[in-house]
Amino acid sequence: MKPAKILSAAALCAALLGATLVSGCDTYHYYDMDVKAMSPVTQTEISGMQFCQILVTGADTHTINWTQGIGCPPQGFPDIGSFEFSSFADSGNLVFTFNGYAMNLDQSMLCSTASTTMPANGTITQMGTITLTSFNETNCPPHVTTSTP
Amino acid sequence: MLPPRKGTRGSRSGFGVGLTLLVSALMAVIVATPWSSARAAEDEETPKSSAPEPSQVEDNDKPHDKSLLEKQPADAAVAKQNQVNDEAFYQKWQFWAITGGVVVGVVGLVFGGRALYHSLNGGDVRPCNTMAFVGCYGQGQSQ
Helix (H) or strand (E) holding B137: strand B135-138
Query: Would the CB atoms of B139 and A87 count as touching at under 8 Å?
Result: yes
Say which amino acid occupies A16. Answer: L
pLDDT range class, residue B12, cuts 50, 70, 90: very low
Judge contact between A30 and A83, C-beta under 8 A: no
Query: Would the CB atoms of A86 and B126 count as touching at under 8 Å?
Result: yes
Q: What is the predicted pLDDT for the residue at B109?
A: 94
User: Whose CA is closest to A31, among B138, B119, B79, B107?
Assistant: B138
Question: Rounded to 5 degrees, what angle do the CA atoms A107, A108, A112 make?
Answer: 70
B36-77 per-position pLDDT tens digit: 444 544 555 555 555 566 566 567 777 777 777 776 777 778
pLDDT range class, residue B29, cuts 50, 70, 90: low
Rounded to whole angstroms, the Cα distance separating A51 from A68 reads 8
What value does the mean pLDDT take over residues A132-148?
A: 76
What value does the mean pLDDT take over residues A140-146?
A: 66
More confident residue, A15 or A109: A109
Domain map (residue ranges) of chain A: 26-132
Q: What is the predicted pLDDT for the residue at A4?
A: 61
Judge contact between A74 and A84, C-beta under 8 A: no
DSSP symbols for B22-86: HHHHHHHHHHHSTTSHHHHHHHHHHHHHTPPPPPTTT-SSS-S-GGGTSPPHHHHHHHHHHHHHT
Query: Would the CB atoms of A56 and B133 count as touching at under 8 Å?
Result: no
Residue B8, pLDDT > 70, answer no
Interface residue A75 vs chain B (CB under 8 A): no
Mutant choice from B124, B128, B137 vs A, greatest count of A C-beta within 10 A: B137
Residues in chain B: 143
CA distances from A142 to A47, A68, A69, A134, B47 (A): 9, 19, 19, 14, 130
Q: How many beta carbons lie within 10 A of that of residue A149, not counting itself?
A: 2
User: Whose CA is closest to A106, among A81, A133, A136, A130?
Assistant: A136
Chain B nearest-CA residue for A71: B134
Chain A residues 82-111 with a CB less than 8 Å from chain B: 82-88
Q: What is the predicted pLDDT for the residue at A24?
A: 60
Q: In the A/B pair of chains, how many CB contacts fall below 8 A?
A: 64
Residue B117, pLDDT > 80, answer yes
Q: Which residues lie below 8 Å from residue A114, measured CB to CB, with a gap of 6+?
A: A97, A98, A130, A131, A132, A133, A134
B132-141 per-position pLDDT tens digit: 999 999 998 8
A24-43 per-position pLDDT tens digit: 678 899 999 999 999 999 98
Interface residue A28 vs chain B (CB under 8 A): yes
Chain B residue numbers with beta carbons less than 8 Å from the beta carbon of A24 are 120
Architecture of domain A26-132: Sandwich (2.60)
Q: What is the predicted pLDDT for the residue at B13?
A: 46
The shortest C-alpha distance from A100 to chain B (Å) reads 15
Closest partner residue to A70 (CB to CB) among B126, B128, B134 is B134
Interface residue A57 vs chain B (CB under 8 A): no
Bond from prior residue into B52 cis (ω within 30 degrees of 0): no
What is the maximal distance between C-alpha atoms in chain B?
Answer: 137
CA B122 distance to own-chain centroid: 54
| Residue A125 φ/ψ region, left for φ over 0, alpha for ψ in the -120 to 50 degree band, beta for the rest | beta
CA atoms within 13 A on the CB side of B37: 2
Radius of gyration of chain A from its Cα atoms, rounded to whole angstroms: 23
